[in-house]
Structure 1
């Protein structure tokens, strides 16, 4: 099943590096979801384990966990990793969302 979320090459590399360098168990993956209300919510990213409410997708050996209740809000989002003068981190951009 194809993931509703896209990962850029930089994000994939950073996620794999983080999981490997921190010796995070194989049961963990990247959680993509929403914090707050649907239209006024912010995207949520983090390393987590699956729950009974999650759908699990795999992109190049990276597990992606999405709560079934959040699925319609994260379809089509892209996760990137950026390094800049103010620091580095993951960014989430929605394509024609909200």
Structure 2
């Protein structure tokens, strides 16, 4: 079981943590929503929760709660720039379907 982070995503997270002046990493999880059922949640975290599973890559910690791991195990967190847009991309091998707007997915 693992969640990985690309070098580009790690650079972006590290820059933001330095700008904030605090934080231990990012929390990646899922919530029930949208047309396809699940959506990714990503937030900066200032302290670990007792139940957190910690994955580390390129010096960045990615925290995942055990319930979310079932849906995102094997996911690679990436950061991409496409034209004028930039943002995190979730390369999840468990996704079977995405909604048309790209906001939710199904496993």
TM-score normalised to structure 2 length:
0.73
2:28 aligned residue (10, 25, 32)? 32
2:24 is the alignment partner of 1:47: no
**Deviation >4 Å, runs of 4+:** none
Aligned residues: 93
Partner of 2:7: 9
1:56-75 superposed matches below 5 A: 56-75=54-73
Cα RMSD (Å) of the superposition?
2.0
Give structure 1 stretches of 5+ with no counterpart.
none
Give structure 2 stretches of 5+ with no counterpart.
96-106
